[in-house]
């Protein structure tokens, strides 16, 4: 297992109104400053979607010796909605990124489950059951496209329906049953669980389907302590699940992102 970086960690620098960093410069910067050799891209930072820009982004990564792992896609539309038009919009918007990933030689995209309307409803509630089935149907449609392009569909424990580990596990298991284990999986974030969720049980529920992992590192202090939750225990559960892929740093804390990422690299490399 080695460290990668979710480029969302740099979102404040990428969106800086005075002097934003350029996305094409990110691979070299990450390799130079942190010694990180793999990146998760985020679609909101792409300056364009045309072939020329995509080739430039791939070339920048190749020049820096950095591997591009997946594209985290944030788009309009709700894949779990009871409204067919909202699901159709989501399928159109997310689906458009599958051939883009394939053109760049990237093997996966991350789609959001949607389902904010049912996030507080208990398991078995008719609205939650319907939302899970809608999400399953939507992801199966995306996997139909993904299999044509060799691109897997990942779902992160992010918000909405996916914030419940049982729902997330049931949805991805159903999609795998129809489309195979290589077509869909979870992107497991150590830190994205609501306060009322048992983090350790939740991680164990969704790790059997893991194809990517985020190590959330918002609160690492100058002494490399992380008071929010136990990174070592998260790593132990990750290893117990048999995951041996990239461990993606995701920083969304209040400190300077470069400082936050640097601390995360030092802490997580020591644990690894």
Residue with tokens 């529920």: 205
Q: Is 38 exposed, middle or buried (0-12, 13-18, 19+ CB in 10 A)?
A: buried
The helix (H) or strand (E) run that includes residue 60 is helix 51-64
Element (H or E) spanning 71, and its range?
strand 67-72
Alpha carbon distances (Å) from 185 to 42, 171, 240: 18, 10, 18
The per-residue pLDDT for 60 is 98
pTM of the model: 0.97
Do 97 and 110 meet the contact criterion of CB atoms below 8 Å apart? no
| 108-111/152-156 β-pairing | parallel
Q: Three-state SS for 106?
A: coil
pLDDT of residue 31: 98
* Nearest alpha carbon to residue 49 among 23, 20, 18, 85: 23
- Give residue 203's region: left, alpha or beta (phi > 0; psi -120 to 50): alpha
Specify the pLDDT at position 207: 98
pLDDT given for residue 12 in this prediction? 96
Q: What angle do CA 147, 102, 251 make, to 5 degrees?
A: 105
Please name the residues in contact with 144: beta carbons below 8 A apart, sequence gap of 6 or more: 179
pLDDT at 190: 98
Q: How far apart are CA 151 and CA 99, in angstroms?
A: 8
Give the helix ranges, DSSP H, for 117-198: 126-149, 165-179
The predicted pLDDT at position 17 comes to 87
The whole-number pLDDT of residue 24 equals 98
Q: Which residues of the chain have pLDDT under 50?
A: none
* C-beta separation of 258 from 30 below 8 A: no
pLDDT of residue 160: 95
Please check whether residue 192 is in contact with residue 134, taking contact to mean a CB–CB distance below 8 angstroms: no
CA distances from 56 to 27, 38, 85, 186 (A): 12, 17, 35, 29
């Amino acid at each position: 297992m080695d460290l990668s970086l979710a480029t969302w960690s740099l979102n404040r620098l990428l969106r800086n109104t005075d002097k934003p960093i350029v996305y094409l410069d990110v691979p070299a910067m990450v390799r130079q400053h942190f010694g990180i050799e793999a990146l998760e891209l985020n679609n909101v930072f792409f300056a364009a979607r045309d072939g020329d820009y995509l080739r430039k982004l791939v070339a920048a990564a190749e020049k820096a010796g950095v591997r591009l792992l997946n594209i985290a896609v944030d788009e309009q539309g709700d894949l779990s909605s009871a409204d067919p038009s909202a699901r159709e919009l989501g399928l159109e918007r997310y689906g458009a990124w599958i051939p883009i990933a394939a053109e760049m030689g990237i093997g996966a995209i991350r789609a959001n489950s949607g389902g904010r309307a049912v996030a507080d409803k208990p398991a078995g509630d008719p609205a939650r059951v319907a939302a899970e089935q809608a999400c399953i149907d939507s992801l199966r449609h995306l996997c139909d496209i993904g299999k044509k392009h060799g691109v897997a569909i990942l779902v992160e424990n992010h918000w909405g329906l996916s914030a419940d580990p049982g729902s997330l596990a049931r949805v991805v298991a159903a999609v795998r049953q129809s489309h195979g284990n290589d077509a869909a999986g979870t992107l497991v974030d150590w830190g994205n669980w609501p306060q009322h969720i048992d983090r350790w049980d939740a991680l164990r529920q969704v790790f059997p389907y893991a194809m990517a992992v985020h190590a959330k590192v918002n609160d690492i202090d100058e002494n490399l302590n992380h008071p929010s939750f136990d990174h070592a225990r998260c790593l132990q559960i990750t290893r117990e699940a048999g995951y041996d892929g990239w461990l993606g740093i995701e920083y969304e804390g209040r400190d300077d992102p470069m400082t936050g990422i640097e601390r995360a690299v030092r802490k997580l490399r020591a644990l690894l």
